[in-house]
């Protein structure tokens, strides 16, 4: 159980990091969209992907 929680957290963190790099690289999105919205979308999508990966593993 602890291993699954840790893996889910790592997957979410990696997704958020990649998402932040993409948004920063695009540049325009940072000035058009508030940082709070970007953080929400990143966390939300990261959580969905982590949930999907964890479901596939079990």
pLDDT in tens, 11-36: 888 888 888 788 777 776 566 667 77
The 3-class SS string of the chain reads CHHHHHHHHHHHHHHHHHHHHHHHHHCHHHHHCCHHHHHHHHHHHHHHHHHHHHHHHC
Report the alpha-carbon angle 20-3-7, nearest 5: 15
Q: Name the band, by pLDDT with cuts 50, 70 and 90, for residue 58.
A: low
pTM for the complete prediction?
Answer: 0.61
* Dist CA 6 CA 9 (whole Å): 5
pLDDT at 46: 84
Q: Does the pLDDT value for residue 8 go beyond 80?
A: yes
pLDDT at 1: 60
pLDDT at 56: 76
């Amino acid at each position: 159980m602890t291993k699954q929680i840790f893996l889910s957290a790592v997957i979410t963190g990696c997704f958020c990091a990649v998402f932040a790099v993409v948004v920063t690289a695009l540049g325009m999105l940072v000035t058009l969209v508030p940082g709070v919205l970007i953080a929400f979308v990143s966390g939300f999508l990261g959580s969905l992907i982590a949930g999907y990966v964890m479901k596939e593993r079990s």
